[in-house]
Structure 1
Amino acid sequence: MELRQLECFIAVAEESSFTRAAARLHIVQSAVSATIAALEGELHSRLLERTSRRVGLTDAGRALLPKARAALDAVRDARDAVDEVNGGVRGTLTVGTLSFLGVIDLPALMGRFHREHPAVSVRLATAASDGGSPGLLEALTAGRLDLAFVSIPDSPPSGVRWRDLTAMPLDLVVPASHRLADRNRVALGELAGEAFIDFPSGYGNRAVTDRAFTAAGLRRHVTIEITAIGAGADFVRHGLGVALLPRGSTEPDAGLVSLPVTGADLDWPISLATPGNRARSAAARAFECLVDLHLR
């Protein structure tokens, strides 16, 4: 077996598509197909089930996938060891992120990381494209991400290392014409009956909000679901509902009013998650150190 064969196999398995795997690897689809065929011939076993709609793993493919990932991780670790002796960090770092990180200035963080480690290629995956924090965690444990900024109010899932970084309150955002717009603060109980704009179930801020309403014995009606915080403010501005959004996530606006909410635990946590089932790369360790410096 060759490393390129394992890389192609992992890409097809994770993307469930030869076309998307080829795009990810920056090669033509025919090369991916030929590489997989050669690997199946080498192992005398069919690894992938191909249908008109998707590509899935056979039992042999499911058995190979974690071993293939471990093999590539071992090669990466070997390269990292040599690079560190030679005074450099190389490779690719894939980071998952939320659309808003509060006091964590991700562009500044990435800029500093690039200046200090110019030989590392950095890729970003967003929660909106990966299904929120649960999707980012799934990508992390599957090996598609090296680390991820996530918001999960509950205990971390198995196979994930977890470090809380910061937390910020969710404020009520209403249009300037709303009945509560002239208040300095509002109690959670006063929001019963409001139409809410919120994230889908599974997103961290939705979980915080749902938990607060349940604890207070209140029902809540979500009329519009969004995947970007900025979109929430836009819908509120046009009178389509109210929203609980992280403090500081909306710009001062004549059409919007943000109010602190009393009588509820509405702190939205942000954590840095890393895989617990495999060793971190040198690039991932360097990025973690930079996050710590950034928050001091």
Structure 2
Amino acid sequence: MPTLRQLESFLTVVDEGSFTRAAGILGVSQPGLSQQIAALESELGTTLFSRLPRSVTLTPTGRALLPHARAAVDAAARGTTAARAVVGTDAGELRIATVYSTGLGVLPPVLTRWRAEHPDVTVRLLEHRTTETMTTAMQAGQADVAVGPTAPGWRGRVRVLGTEELVVLLPAEGPPDVRHHEIALERLADAAWVQYSPSHGLAEELDRAAREAGFRPRAAVRTEQTAMAPLLVEAGLGPALVPAGIVPTSFAGRIARPVPAITRELAATTGPDPDALTSRFVALLARRAVLMPPHVAQRLS
């Protein structure tokens, strides 16, 4: 009989149209994911996907399995929710989907408080490059709550946390001059930026803001890790656009607000009927989330 893990792997490949992207969302290696699908196909005695050079499509058998796989995974998720409601919120696992920049900036102090109040609850972080992949993980039932930029059209519950500012980090020395802690992005049109990998959500933010300012940002270096950006700026490699919440207290460079301002709404999203454990975490998050750290606000004042 197919396992729940095999069915979840199958559904993620279907939703992503790619083994590579599905493996990233599930947090497993691509060979490991392929083994799960191969085991499912062996159990059913037929192939489920037609492998194309850059994508995969469902075979007739795969299309027949699809609605039943979704029903089985959904039923398992509902069973987990019901069990948690019975046993209360003193133990268990809380699965949090988030984007890299939010996980780095907003969540750590909240999780410190959560851990103090719920020492027997294991927290599992599912970190994503973009809001789209984070939302896909939620739709697939892989997480209890998503914390990050608001997902458009989400059909569950949305608890808005506030508006997050993105700031420009610059090396301590060198042009351009920054006055009143603000800088127009077009003044950085000729700069080589500390950029992110093309699949990173912050790369899209910089590309969009630069396009509106009339230029295309040139990359000096690209990084996969959001936390690396301030370090690379400090090393003099160029400016970077980052959420205010990830700027370390020890950052030795300059910080400026871009003009016009670049902001994004952050929210906690859950399914239509979150269990007691998830609801308690969302309430704590709404009370404790800090979107503009005091040390950054002070330097921008």
Q: Assess same fold via TM > 0.5.
A: yes
Contact 2:158 2:270 in 1 (8 A): yes
* Counterpart position of 2:294: none
Q: Is 1:234–2:267 an aligned residue pair?
A: no
Deviation at 1:58, TM superposition (A): 2.8
Question: Which string of whole-angstrom CA distances, capped at 9 and with x for unpartnered residues, describes residues 16-75 of structure 1?
Answer: 49xx79x79xx9x9998666544x26xxxx353487999874333244334323323324
- The one-letter amino acid of 2:74's match is D
1:179 alignment partner in structure 2:
175
Paired residue for 2:166? 170
How far does residue 205 in structure 1 lie from its aligned partner after superposition? 3.9
**CA distances 1:122-161 after superposition (whole Å, capped 9, x unpaired):** 321222xxx3222222222233333322236xx7146565
What is the aligned partner in structure 2 of residue 146 from structure 1?
A: 144
Q: Are the aligned partners of 1:133 and 1:150 in contact in 2 as well (CA < 8 Å)?
A: yes
Matched, 1:290 2:278: no
Residue type of the alignment partner of 1:269:
E
Q: CA deviation at 1:117?
A: 5.2
Please tell me the residue identity of whatever aligns with 2:216. Answer: R
Query: Residue 107 of structure 1 aligns to which amino acid in structure 2?
Result: P
Counterpart selection for 2:190 from 180, 190, 193: 193
Q: Deviations over 1:185-236 (max 9, x none)?
A: 34314223222223345655444444444444x2132313333332112222
* TM superposition shift of 1:258: 1.2
- Structure 1 vs Structure 2: percent identity of aligned residues? 26
Question: Which whole-Å CA distance do the structure 2 matches of 1:67 and 1:115 have between them?
Answer: 41
Q: What is the aligned counterpart of 1:245 among 234, 242, 245?
A: 242
Quote the residue 1:260 is aligned against.
257
Give the direction of change, closer, same or farther, for the CA distance of 1:179–1:287 in structure 2 (3 Å limit).
same
Alpha-carbon distance between aligned partners in 2 of 1:222 and 1:260, rounded to the nearest angstrom: 20
**Distance in 1 (alpha carbons) for counterparts of 2:94 and 2:190:** 45
Q: Secondary structure at the match of 1:267?
A: strand
- Rounded to whole Å, the distance in 2 between the matches of 1:226 and 1:118 is 34
Q: What is the deviation of 1:97? A: 1.9
What residue identity is the alignment partner of 2:261?
D
Distance 1:94 1:48 in 2: 29
Aligned counterpart for 2:269 among listed residues 267, 273, 295:
273
Q: Structure 1: state its 5+ residue gaps.
A: none
Contact 2:197 2:224 in 1 (8 A): yes
- The structure having more radius of gyration, on CA atoms, is 1
Closer, same or farther: CA 215–9 of 1 in aligned 2, 3 Å:
closer
Q: Which runs of 5+ in 2 are unaligned?
A: 14-18, 291-301
Count of residues paired in the alignment: 274
Partner of 2:216: 220
How far apart are the structure 2 equivalents of 1:172 and 1:81?
A: 46
Q: Name 2:61's counterpart in structure 1.
A: 60
Q: 1:69 to 1:92 in 2, by over 3 A?
A: farther
Supply the RMSD in Å over aligned alpha carbons: 4.1
2:12 corresponds in structure 1 to 14
Normalised by the size of structure 1, how large is the TM-score? 0.70
